[in-house]
């Protein structure tokens, strides 16, 4: 297992990226009913890693501040007021909704560990929301993500159990859990993004985790498979309609998750793989083949930070499309 003991990158001597265990839940379009679900998710996270969190970054605040457990409530309260005033006609409604959207767009709360407010930490938790193009309705329908990272030294059984507990609470579209990265981009994203670019292209078992500005692109297509790959009921039905089997195999175990969803477990533990050693985790290759109709392959409209170009993004998205003997 790759260790979180040392940072992947330093920026002026300050840690800017760590290898970590990560979980990333892409949620169904948020509605008022999700407030309670997000509140419960915050309680689970606080009980699990709250003692390790030290700093809060809120998109609507002026500065990074010491973490307060009450800050977790900014996640659930986001869903409590999604209605917009009703306008006289359709055109006026779109104008009104867009004005309200300006104050609700790119909304995020992020918490981390670390000794100072500027250094990255393998302990982190985030909620992020973006609002797609509005229509003539009077309720905004934001897309959201709940994501967390913990050190790779955390017991895998506990990590999997906690992620599964979150899956039972959240109304998710799809999710991944396994190896990933912990960054703190408020300090400057260039160093950490360059490090992820180099590392992720060599170790295919790591999820780059980029979701900012990608929520619409990853609504009906998943970014990747991982050790644990969750499909919510909507995408589970879509996959079954495509004719793909969702039965367990020797390498991939399939089980239930949430209300009508499934989880694919690729092997007994997360595997980094190593392109330089021609090591592509076979269980990940098989899991990728199982969800291929849902897995993104076209890089158009997908934003990866750092040196990635469209060809590089496409190669990463399709990296498990390999023949395994």
Residue 125 lies in a domain: yes
Note the residue count of the chain: 325
pLDDT value of residue 325? 42
- Residue 274 is given by DSSP the state B
Largest CA distance in the chain: 64
Residue 8 lies in a domain: no
Residue 12 lies in a domain: no
State the DSSP string of 130-192. Answer: E-----SSSB---EEEEEEEE-TTS-HHHHHHHHHHHHHHS-EEEEEEEEEEEE-GGG-SHHH
Domains: count for the chain: 1
Give me the mean pLDDT over the 207-229 stretch: 97
Distance CA 255, CA 262 (A): 6
Full domain range(s) for residue 43: 17-317
User: Has residue 187 got a pLDDT over 80?
Assistant: no
Per residue in 51-96, pLDDT (tens digit) is 999 999 999 998 999 999 999 999 999 998 899 999 999 899 888 8
What's the mean per-residue pLDDT of the chain? 94
**Integer angstrom CA distances of residue 75 from 29, 108, 125, 195, 279:** 14, 8, 11, 29, 40
Residue 6 lies in a domain: no
Query: Lowest-pLDDT range, 91-105, 238-252, 285-299?
Result: 91-105
Under the banding of pLDDT at 50, 70 and 90, the label for residue 1 is low
Structure-block tokens of residue 233 = 């009921």
pLDDT value of residue 323? 62
Per residue in 23-54, pLDDT (tens digit) is 999 999 999 999 999 999 999 999 999 999 99
Residue 2 lies in a domain: no
Distance CA 231, CA 189 (A): 30
Residue 313 lies in a domain: yes
């Amino acid at each position: 297992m790759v260790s979180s003991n040392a940072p992947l990158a330093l920026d002026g001597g300050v840690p800017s990226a760590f290898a970590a265990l990560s979980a990333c839940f892409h949620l169904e379009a948020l509605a008022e009913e999700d407030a309670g679900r997000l509140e419960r998710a915050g309680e689970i996270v606080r009980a699990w890693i709250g003692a390790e969190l030290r700093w809060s970054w809120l998109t609507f605040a002026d500065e990074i501040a010491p973490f307060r457990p009450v800050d977790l409530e900014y996640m659930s309260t986001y869903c409590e007021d999604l209605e917009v005033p009703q306008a006289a006609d359709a055109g006026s409604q779109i104008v009104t909704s867009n004005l309200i959207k300006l104050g609700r767009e790119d909304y995020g709360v992020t918490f981390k560990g670390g000794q100072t407010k500027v250094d990255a930490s393998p302990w982190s938790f985030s909620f992020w929301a973006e609002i797609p193009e509005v229509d003539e309705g009077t309720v905004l329908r934001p897309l959201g993500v709940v994501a967390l990272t913990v050190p790779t030294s955390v017991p895998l059984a506990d990590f999997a159990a906690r992620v599964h507990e979150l899956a039972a609470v959240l109304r998710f579209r799809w999710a991944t859990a396994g190896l990933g990265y912990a960054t703190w981009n408020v300090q400057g994203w260039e160093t950490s993004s360059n490090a992820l670019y180099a590392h992720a292209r060599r170790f295919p078992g790591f999820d780059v985790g980029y979701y900012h500005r990608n929520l619409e692109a990853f609504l009906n297509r998943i970014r990747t498979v991982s050790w644990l790959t969750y499909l919510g009921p909507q995408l589970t039905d879509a996959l079954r309609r495509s004719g793909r089997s969702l039965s367990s195999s020797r390498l991939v175990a399939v089980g239930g998750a949430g209300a009508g969803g499934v989880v694919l477990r690729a092997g007994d533990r997360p595997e980094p793989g190593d392109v330089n050693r021609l090591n592509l985790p076979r269980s990940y290759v098989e899991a990728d083949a199982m969800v291929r109709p849902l897995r993104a392959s076209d890089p158009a409209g997908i934003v990866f930070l750092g040196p990635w170009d469209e060809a590089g993004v496409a190669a990463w998205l399709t990296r498990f499309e390999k023949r395994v003997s």
